[in-house]
Structure 1
Amino acid sequence: MNEYDSGGFRSGFAALVGRPNVGKSTLLNRILGQKIAITSPKPQTTRNRILGIHHMPQAQILFLDTPGVHRSFGNKLNRYMVEQALSALDEVDVVLLLVEADRPAELEPQIRRSLETAKKPVLLVLNKIDRVAPPELLLLIDDWQKLYSFAEIVPVSALTGENVDRLVSVVTGYLPEGPPLYPEDMVTDLPERFLVAEMVREQVLKKLQQEIPYGVAVRVESFEEEPDRDLVVIHAVIHVERDSHKRIVVGKGGAMIREIGRNARRDIERLLGTRVFLQLFVRVDRNWTQSDRLLREFGYE
């Protein structure tokens, strides 16, 4: 009898949900010990559900990092993101609701309704505890306990790693017994092209978070491996909605797009473990966030 037949192994899905910028992607990267989800100070950075696979000797947790739940304001891309987040609740074994420890306790009606409908155990994860004093944290926990019947409340700091191991242990206890669902060498099921595009988009958001509005998408047009040269050649397009946005992304004399490319290339090389030649282009697709065809082409469907 192997270890999986013995009934000792657990595997299952856990959804990371919450408002924008509460630290879901940072927490996922911390748990996995490597970067698969992009982060930036700009709200609504995550647009797709991202699967992160955490392997342990007696368990495998499949974390779903979801877009931040926010008011969609009729924008088709925003509606897609909210649907991605809330529909994940029906597909998991346990829900991790992330909130910020330095903000008052407040449960949005939209999230409450979704939690109640899903009828899954909900762990409240109080993130960013490095920003608050212990007495304030105890008061906040008491406030949250009055708002919803959480299965457990776990304070953590995704930034410093404080209490993250305990959170993983708590999550494991809510998973069903069963064999691992993915091989040990997999940390995500996302294709490399998707991860590369996200790393380019991350650098655009970090460099131009004030100058460029929300409508930026990145698509990898070609991805060619050249093993004899220990090189991957990538051509990617940054899509924006206005000519003025294109000028900002390109920068004076092409300075900005070169810097975006340099920074993205470093992250991509760490991801792929090889040298990378990255060439970036900028294309204007007016109002692409409202176009069903372009949303599909860019992977938002």
Structure 2
Amino acid sequence: MNADERRFAVLQAIVADYVSTHEPVGSRAIVERHNLGVSSATVRNDMAVLEEDGLIAQPHTSAGRVPTDKGYRAFVDRLTQVKPLSGAERRAVQAFLEGAVDLDDVLRRSVRLLAQLTRQVAVVQYPTLTRSTVRHLEVVSLTPARLMLVLITDSGRVDQRVVDLGEVLSDDDVATLRALINGALGGRPLAAASAAVAELPEKVPSELRDVATTLSTVLIETLVEHPEERLVLGGTANLTRNVADFPGSLRQVLEALEEQVVVLKLLAAAQDPGLVTVRIGEENEVEEMRATSVVSIGYGAGTVLGGMGVVGPTRMDYPGTIAAVHAVARYVGEILAGR
């Protein structure tokens, strides 16, 4: 191997040992544990170059070195392939997720699974309404003057609204409205659906126009106004196992994780199903999260419905975490597509 390859092998060895032991790594340990076929003096020279390049650093007076954010980045960028989960792990993931009864359950289970597989904090974003298509709108008569609208999207998301009409409707009127609304909405992306709903009052029999106007106003609010995107978070206690990784900043990280907006920002990069994004330390735009790394991905079959990922210290098992995030996202996408 040439000098560059050998230096990268030394960096890999330092990352691997530091992640598993949390102790700075010295040249002798590298020679003993990793079969690089070179002397301790050569490894020391390579470490001097890596340090000069800002890929490793010497904490206080210890003889060993630890990877920097830049070093982890170089390591992650050269992970040529995601090491797949074992057959047994894959079967366990599939069986656990397939036992879910509905969307909420799928997302809760995927968070639990990710937190267990990676021993980090796992986060999953609910399917965003903007990227969804209307599957069906159910109109249920609660009383003759009160209806419930239940909007079901292709991602399995369900939104409901109760509407007081101020006038009495017969069952036939409700059936007419149901048919007209579904004709306008069914199979359309939400943005197009809200435009179709706005035209509804002109398309109904004149005696139903007032009711249709009320319903279309409520529906447009449901379709267009995006309530705070919902998130499922799990495994926060895992961070406290690695207190030493967050000198003085663990509390900041835990507080930041409680903020929906912060976590949504962490997942914002996850736009592509199948493509894992890794943000390391200083690369996180959220200041409180600069002691962490975020491994995220978009989930969904074909279209991205939302993001999911893992938050942990920069000293994490990147190959294992990337594999787990990749696998869980793939199964969640398949399960939601099959529903």
On whether the aligned pair clears a TM of 0.5, the verdict is no
Q: Flag the structure with higher strand content.
A: 1
Q: Which structure has the bigger radius of gyration?
A: 2
Q: Which has the higher helix share?
A: 2
TM-score bracket relative to the smaller structure: under 0.3
Give TM-score scaled by structure 2 length: 0.21
